[in-house]
Amino acid sequence: MNDCIFCKIVAGELPAKVIHETDRVVAFQDIDPQAPVHVLVVPRRHIPTLHDMADEDGDLVGEIFQVARRVADKEGISESGYRTVFNCGGDGGQDVYHLHLHLLGGRRMAWPPG
């Protein structure tokens, strides 16, 4: 997608602090962190939302979570705990329409979310 910020980050056309990457997934720091650790885990392939994933993409979702676990280890929040969030669509609070998992940690999270 030509106008997608996260496609540009994946392609190296926009700067981002990359924490971890695999053949299919990239994890980088959020530009506007909402916690001491705030990393976005995205597929390299452009998929707009969670709801646009195909049935065959189940293993890709699994890989996104596996990368989130690795990042949690690297960032030192595995023991203290963390939150993972996929915002989906307008009411879900999604602003960037390239699928991404938020990994948040380093502070106590509130519930319910705002």
Q: How far is the CB of 11 from ligand DGP (least distance, A)?
A: 13
Smaller CB separation from ligand DGP, 79 or 95: 95
> Is 100 labeled as catalytic in the residue annotation?
yes
Q: Least distance from C-beta 82 to ligand DGP, angstroms?
A: 15
Stretch that binds ligand DGP, among 47-55, 73-81, 88-96, 104-112 (CB under 6 A): 88-96
Main-chain phi, psi angles of 21, to 5 degrees:
-150, 150
Of the candidates 20, 38, 100, 102, the residue annotated as catalytic is 100
> Residue 44 contacts by C-beta under 8 Å, 6 or more apart in sequence?
10, 23, 24, 25, 26
Per-residue contact flags (x/-) with ligand DGP for residues 19 to 48, judged by CB under 6 A: ---------xxxxx-------x--------
Q: How far is the CB of 63 from ligand DGP (least distance, A)?
A: 19
Q: Which residues are catalytic?
A: 100
Residues that bind ligand DGP (CB under 6 A): 5, 16, 28-32, 40, 87, 93-96
